Structure 1
Amino acid sequence: MGLRERKKQRTRQAISDAAISLFLQHGFDQVSVVDVAATAEVSKPTLFKYFPTKEDLVVHRFADHETVAGDIVRERRSGVSPLAALHQHFVDGLARRDPITGLNDEQEVLDFHGLVYSTPSLLTRVVQYQSRAEDALAQALAEAFDAGPADLTPRLLAGQVVAAQRILAAANWQRIVDGATADGSYPQAVADADHAFALLEWGLAGPSAARTA
Structure 2
Amino acid sequence: MAEELGLRERKKRDTKWRIYRTALDLFVESGFDKVSVQEIADASDVSKMTVFNYFGSKEDLVFHPMEEHFGDAARAVRDRGPGESAVDAVRRQFLEMIEVRDPSVGLHSEPFVLLVRRVVEETPVLRERVVVAAQRGIRAMTDLLAEESGDPVLATVAATTLSAARNALIEDHHRRLAAGESPEAIAAGAVERAHRAFDLVENGLKGYAVKA
TM over 0.5: yes
| 1:147 pairs with one of 146, 149, 152 | 149
* Paired AA for residue 146 in structure 2: A
Greater relative CO, 1 or 2 (CA 8 Å, sep 6+): 2
Cα separation, 2, equivalents of 1:68 and 1:179: 27
Given the alignment of the two structures, is residue 29 of structure 1 paired with residue 33 of structure 2, yes or no? yes
Cα separation, 1, equivalents of 2:54 and 2:145: 31
Note if contact 1:70-1:139 (Cα within 8 Å) is conserved in structure 2: no
Cα separation, 1, equivalents of 2:59 and 2:128: 10
User: Which is worse superposed, 179-188 or 39-48?
Assistant: 39-48
Per-residue deviation, residues 52-83 of structure 1 (Å, max 9, x unmatched): 33212102233122332222222223322221
* Paired AA for residue 143 in structure 2: Q
- 1:61 counterpart SS class: coil
Aligned match of 1:122: 126
In the alignment, structure 1 segments of 5+ residues that lack a partner are: 208-213
* Paired AA for residue 91 in structure 1: L
Cα separation, 2, equivalents of 1:109 and 1:157: 30
Equivalent residues in 2 for 1:104-183, closer than 5 Å: 104-143=108-147, 146-148=148-150, 151-183=152-184
- 1:78 counterpart SS class: coil
Note if contact 2:142-2:152 (Cα within 8 Å) is conserved in structure 1: no
Aligned match of 2:210: none
Pair 66,185 (structure 1): closer, same or farther in 2 beyond 3 Å: closer
Deviation at 1:31, TM superposition (A): 1.4
Aligned match of 2:57: 53
Cα separation, 2, equivalents of 1:160 and 1:122: 24
Note if contact 1:24-1:115 (Cα within 8 Å) is conserved in structure 2: yes
User: Which is worse superposed, 128-137 or 171-180?
Assistant: 171-180
Cα separation, 2, equivalents of 1:136 and 1:14: 32
**TM-score, normalising length: structure 2:** 0.81
Cα separation, 2, equivalents of 1:9 and 1:36: 17
* Paired AA for residue 147 in structure 1: S
User: Which is worse superposed, 34-43 or 53-62?
Assistant: 34-43
Note if contact 1:70-1:141 (Cα within 8 Å) is conserved in structure 2: no
Aligned match of 1:188: 189
**TM-score, normalising length: structure 1:** 0.80
Aligned match of 1:198: 199
Superposition CA RMSD, Å:
2.7
Equivalent residues in 2 for 1:9-28, closer than 5 Å: 10=13, 12-28=16-32
Note if contact 2:41-2:51 (Cα within 8 Å) is conserved in structure 1: yes
Pair 7,139 (structure 1): closer, same or farther in 2 beyond 3 Å: farther
Q: Percent identity?
A: 36
Cα separation, 1, equivalents of 2:99 and 2:195: 13
Deviation at 1:43, TM superposition (A): 3.2
In the alignment, structure 2 segments of 5+ residues that lack a partner are: 207-212
